[in-house]
Structure formats: C-alpha cells, structure tokens
Amino acid sequence: MRVLVVTPWYPSLEAPGAGVFNLRDVELLSQQHEVTVLHLTHPGASLAGPVPGDTREFPTERVPFVLSRPGTLRGAVAAIRRLGAQVDLVHSMAFPALLPVALAKTGKPWVHTEHWSGLVGAAPSPQAKVARAVLKPSLSRPHEVVAVGRGLADVIDRVRSVPVTVIGNKVRIAPAGMSALPMTGGADEPLKLVGVGGLVPHKGPLAALDAMIELNARGIDASLTWAGVGPLDQALLERSVAAGVRERLCLLGHVDPEALGDVLLAHHMFVLPTDGETFGVAIAEALGHGLPVVTSGVGGHLDFLPPEASRVAASESAALADAIVALRNDPTRWGNAEIRDYAETQFSEDVRGRHYQGVYASASRRAQIEKR
C-alpha cells in the first residue's frame, strides 16, 4: 500500500530530536508499505533534508505550516492534495495535522495517530486550550484513530463513534545480556541518576535536581545526568551552583537516539518527575535498558510500570528522594536483567506492526463504505 504520512512533529535539520516517535512509526510502516512523509514544518525552518544521519529510503518533503499562522494553511493543504493523489491511504500523526488533512479532502482512507498530552486534563496553556476547543471535533473525521495510551484514547472516544485503537510507541531495548549499572544498596555506594526529556517544566528536571540535592544532604553520594534540551538549562546550572553540587550535575543536551542507550546503561536509576505522559517512551526505554524507575504524574506510563522496578511519587524533592532510597533498598526489587527482559515482553515491534495492519484494513473498509 502507498501511504502518505503527514505530521508537524518530525526530526529536521534544526531539531533532530523532535518527533522521533513519529519517525520510528514511519520506519515500522515502511517495512510493509511504500511510505512518503510530508513534514509540516515551522515557517522559517529549513525545507531541506534528510535529517542528519538519516539513510532511510522513504522520501520526505517539507512545507511550512503552523496553526497560529493561517496564511500557511493553503500551502499545506495544496501539498497534501498533490501527494495524496498518488497514494492509497493518508496517515496523519499529531493534533495539528488534523485541520489541513481534513481540508484537503483527498478521498482516501484516513488514519490518525495522536500523541498530544494536552488533550488529557487541563490545557497546558491558553493557546493549547483554544487549539483543543477548535480542533478536538476534527478527531471524529478520520476513518480510524490510534492513541499511544489508554487515557488519551478514552478522551478521544468521547468525540468518536468508532472506538480508538491503542498502539504504544516504539521502545528501544538493550541487546540481550546488556543492562544498566547494578545497585548493591551499600550506604557508601555512589548513586548515578539519569533523566531523559526536554528541559521544560512539565518534564520536571528542576524537581529531579532538587531530589539529587536532597539525597546529598542526607549523606548519599548522588549525581544526576540529564539528556535533553530546553529553556531551563540555565536555571538548572544556577541552582546546582547555589546548592554546591555543580560537579554532580551533567547536562548532555541533545543526544542522538542511537547513542541514548549507552547513556542509560552507564547509570543506576532513571528519574523523571513528569506532570504526565501520553505513553512515556523515555520511561519505557529506561526499563528496556534494565534501569529501575522513579517517576511522577499521570498517564500511559502508569499502565506498564511494574511495582518490582519502580516507584511513583509526588514531584517534590523529599518525596522523590524517599522513593529513590526506598527503591534502591527494596530487597524484592528486580535485578537489571529482569527489568530489561520484562520490557522486551511488553514492547514488541511485531505486535505494533500487526495492530497497524489491522487499523489500515479497517480504515480502507470504512472508506469504501462511504463511497457507496
């Protein structure tokens, strides 16, 4: 089947780490289908490609589009119509793609995959609240909708007559026999914590730093490494200096997904005091590398976190520090290999591929019925 993927969240020259989960879905789909990608990129961003290091064979075209600039809508719709005429199915990925695909009216089977955590709970900003109110009804338009977590699916089901299918994101698993640093639980043992996510408030990097500071105040030799970029980098550095732990904080910035596994394997425990996750790729991949996890918030990650390898705590320094110590010292905690093997059974690419095949078949049937 020839498939057009339309998404605003996708790696680019300017942001090689953006929308990696969509790139991974494209990689999966391209194993069974002929896939073309239309990246609705931010105006002013480079329209060139491919992404640095990208040697994959599916073509990618980029066109400027952002919801807050109505003038960009015409070009996006025109590109979708042009490319849509050459394919058998259109697959939009992420909320902002709904409007231009709906307006393009390609007449092809339409599948939409949703990731946006802003649909669950309170809107994260006034702009998000407006976008949600305007675009949420559009979720009733695709022939099939996929959500990456059950909580997100429940919200979308309220505006659809056809139930949403839940298909989680791809999760990278460490090769068999490889896993993170083991913890003996010794009082003098250094504790290497690691977090992965944007340096933005809802991912909780400042709370993770405060937990590390609290652990050191309790006499525990703890350090924190964080992979990700964002506006809080300077605040983290300033807080670490003020607390006298600057040498214990390592900000890696953007880490290529191919190299992230090595970062995870070099640590004892994963910490992400998130407000919420639709799925929680970083958390799942921490498990996939044998790391016990301390996290916060609500969302899809709560569906797969095993109590034998995790703690969920309030995103506050003392509570996080308590959870870290309790998990480290828990005599029933799984070993690193057990955690990694559990993740391998939970996150199967073969299963994801079969589920998408079923969704595509269902969307094609519904489109045929509409034409009768």
Q: How far is CA 265 from the centre of its chain?
A: 20
Would you say 316 and 270 are in contact if contact means Cβ atoms under 8 Å apart? no
Confidence (pTM): 0.79
Q: Is residue 279 a contact partner of residue 115, using CB atoms and an 8 Å limit?
A: yes
Helix (H) or strand (E) holding 356: helix 349-371
Q: Is 183 helix (H, G, I), strand (E, B) or coil?
A: coil
Please tell me the predicted confidence (pLDDT) of residue 112: 98
For residue 316, which of 287, 296, 338 has the smallest C-alpha distance?
A: 296
- Confidence at residue 124, expressed as pLDDT on a 0 to 100 scale: 63
Q: What is the pLDDT of residue 344?
A: 93
Under 8 Å between Cβ of 8 and 32: no
Q: Distance between alpha carbon 150 and the CA centroid of its chain, in Å?
A: 15
Residue 120 is predicted with a pLDDT of 75
> Which residue, 140, 142, 167, is CA-closest to 155?
140
Residue entry with tokens 């998990």: 327
Tokens of 288: 């996939």
Query: What's the pLDDT score for residue 88?
Result: 98
Q: Which pair of structure tokens corresponds to residue 40?
A: 């609705």
Q: How far is CA 238 from CA 19, 79, 143, in A?
A: 29, 46, 50
Domains of the chain, earliest start first: 2-170+349-371 (3.40.50.2000), 191-346 (3.40.50.2000)
**R_g (Cα) of the chain, nearest Å:** 21
How many angstroms separate the Cα of 13 from the Cα of each of 36, 49, 50?
18, 7, 8
Q: Tokens representing 289?
A: 């590398």
Tens of pLDDT along the chain (372 residues) come to: 999 999 999 988 777 778 889 999 999 999 999 999 999 998 887 776 656 555 567 788 999 999 889 999 999 999 999 999 999 999 999 999 999 999 999 999 999 999 887 787 666 677 777 777 777 789 999 999 999 988 899 999 999 999 999 999 999 999 998 989 998 766 678 999 999 999 999 999 999 999 999 999 999 999 999 999 999 999 999 999 999 999 999 999 999 888 999 999 999 999 999 998 888 999 999 999 999 999 998 888 998 999 999 999 999 999 999 999 999 999 999 999 999 999 999 898 999 999 999 999 999 999 999 887
